[in-house]
Amino acid sequence: MRPAPFSVGILGTSGYAGQVLHALLMQHPCMRPVCIEGRSPTDAGPREVERLVACDAVALCLPREASKEWAAALELAAGAHRPKIIDLSDAFRLEASPRETAAGNPIHYGLPELYGAPPPGTQLIANPGCYPTATLLALRPLLEADLIDAQKLVVHGASGASGAGKGLAEHLHFCNLSENVFPYKVGEHRHQPEIEQHLGHGAQISFVTTLLPLVRGLSVTAFVEPKAGVTPDQLREALVERYLDHRWVTVLTEAGQGLGLRHVHGSHQGVLAVGPRQSGGHIPVFASIDNLMRGAASQAVHNLNLWFGLFAGLGLPAPLENPAGIPAAAGSLGRGLMYA
């Protein structure tokens, strides 16, 4: 007899990330979505709170303050049965300690390739967002290998408008965004402290983001200063080695069209590349992801699979195996494992 699927309550299905997560769970062979409406527990009412508490997990696809309110309400109402909570906002990401100091921390930072499965005792997964995911995948292995200067990191990110959420804002109006590109939240982007914390190694970054006239997709270009004698090939080799067993991270042999956002649209893939040394001495390191998938919903599914003890890739799109237009890759296509 086939076991009953895990029930996953979703709060915030009217938002972009919540819609994509619902669509993924509708097709998942071992999970079923339970959609609850209500910006706050008061809006939803006690009966809906009870429905959530009865779920195996609850996904919070809400703004940070609403997520905090719901997390507190679920903990208070849970009693003996406490559902797993995965939060897709940034409400708890700074409370999730780096793995090397995370002993006893009930909050797990859910970037599987770098942090693995949630350890025993985890009560909440802080699901990383789009800019942190792309930047950490590109830079953290290079810092771990002591190949680049942690104090001299310059990161430029560019994303589609869905990354800004559904809130009404003048810069998101069609007439302002169409056929246009401009920087936003310069000097005040809320993801910068999160990125620096989870890069570790005392990292400090200069971080600027640009809004693209696209619905979805995100590209990061990081300019790094290599340690003495370190070459671009060594940086790339470090990424290849780090992600050899992780099929949803592809390391290209060269930077170019393979980093295009159309390649990652609708996928769980992170596509990385290293460029040649610039005349100023810096080396560009690139990352491309779908902000609504790898930067939100499919990453949540990946984390839930690991938390429930399921196969890591269950319900996720198949890894990209050298699609048309992408040059030869290495690392992700190496040993062919799909565990994290």
Give dist(CA 168, CA 182) in Å, integer. Answer: 18
Q: Is residue 313 part of a domain?
A: no
Q: Is residue 144 part of a domain?
A: yes
Q: Is residue 157 part of a domain?
A: yes
Phi-psi region of 251 (alpha: psi -120 to 50; beta: other; left: phi over 0): beta
In the residue annotation, 175 being an active-site residue is answered as: no
In CATH, what number is assigned to the domain containing residue 284? 3.30.360.10
Set 30, 35, 61, 130: catalytic member? 130
Tell me the per-residue pLDDT of 292-328, one tens digit each, with 9 for 90 and over.
999 999 999 999 999 999 999 999 999 987 644 454 4
pLDDT-wise least confident of 129-133, 156-160, 164-168, 267-271: 164-168
Indicate yes or no: pTM above 0.75: yes
Please provide the distance, in angstroms rounded to a whole number, between the alpha carbons at the two ends of the chain: 28
Note the pLDDT of residue 337.
Answer: 38
Q: Give the mean pLDDT of 179-184.
A: 84
Q: Is residue 314 part of a domain?
A: no
For the chain, how many structural domains are there in total? Answer: 2
Percent of the chain with pLDDT over 70: 89
3-state secondary structure of 47: helix
Tell me the per-residue pLDDT of 198-239, one tens digit each, with 9 for 90 and over.
999 899 999 999 999 999 999 999 999 999 999 999 999 999
Q: Is residue 234 part of a domain?
A: yes
Note the pLDDT of residue 327.
Answer: 47
39 lies in the same domain as 98: yes
How does DSSP classify residue 296? I
113 lies in the same domain as 207: no
Note the pLDDT of residue 126.
Answer: 97
For tokens 């399921």, what's the residue? Answer: 310
Q: Is residue 28 part of a domain?
A: yes
In CATH, what number is assigned to the domain containing residue 46? 3.40.50.720
Q: Whose CA is closest to 334, among 253, 246, 233? A: 246
77 lies in the same domain as 138: no
